[in-house]
Amino acid sequence: MPSIESSRIAHSIGTALDRFIKNNQSQFQYASGELSQLLRDIALASKVVNREVNKAGLIDLMGAVGSQNMAGDEQQKLDVLANIRFTRALAKGGEVCALVSEESDSFVDLNNEGQYVIAIDPLDGSSNIDVNVSIGTIFSIYRRKSPAGTPIQELDILQKGSEQVAAGYVLYGSSTMLVYTTGYGVNGFTYEPTLGEYFLSHPNMKIPEDGKIYSINEGSSNSFAQPVSDYLKFCKEKNYTARYIGSLVADFHRNLLKGGIYIYPATAKDPKGKLRLMYECNALAFVVEQAGGKASDGKERILDIALTDLHQRTAFFVGSKNMVEKAENFN
Write out the catalytic residue numbers: 73, 79, 102-103, 121, 123-124, 280
Compute the C-alpha angle 216/222/226, nearest 5°.
80
What is the nearest approach in angstroms of ligand AFP to the Cβ of residue 251?
A: 6
What is the nearest approach in angstroms of ligand AFP to the Cβ of residue 132?
A: 14
Nearer to ligand AFP, 227 or 246 (CB): 246
- SS3 of the chain: the string is CCCHHHHHHHCCCCCEHHHHHHHCHHHCCCCCCHHHHHHHHHHHHHHHHHHHHHCCCCCCCCCEEEEECCCCCEEEHHHHHHHHHHHHHHHHHCCEEEEEECCCCCCEECCCCCCEEEEEEEEECHHHHHHCCCEEEEEEEEECCCCCCCCCCHHHHCCCHHHEEEEEEEEECCCEEEEEECCCCEEEEEEECCCCEEEEEECCCCCCCCCCEEECCHHHHHHCCHHHHHHHHHHHHCCCEECCCCCHHHHHHHHHHHCCEEEECCCCCCCCCCEEHHHHHHHHHHHHHHCCCEEECCCCEHHHCCCCCCCCEECEEEECHHHHHHHHHCC
Nearer to ligand AFP, 28 or 279 (CB): 279
What is the nearest approach in angstroms of ligand AFP to the Cβ of residue 319?
A: 13
What is the nearest approach in angstroms of ligand AFP to the Cβ of residue 71?
A: 8
Nearer to ligand AFP, 53 or 165 (CB): 53
Nearer to ligand AFP, 21 or 167 (CB): 167
Q: Give the interface with ligand AFP as residue ranges (CB under 6 A).
A: 73, 124-127, 217, 246-248, 274-275
Nearer to ligand AFP, 114 or 211 (CB): 211
What is the nearest approach in angstroms of ligand AFP to the Cβ of residue 166?
A: 21
Give the span between the Cα atoms of 158 and 160, in whole angstroms: 7
> Is residue 86 exposed (0-12), middle (13-18) or buried (19+ Cβ within 10 Å)?
buried
What is the nearest approach in angstroms of ligand AFP to the Cβ of residue 272?
A: 14
Give the span between the Cα atoms of 85 and 247, in whole angstroms: 21
Nearer to ligand AFP, 17 or 278 (CB): 278
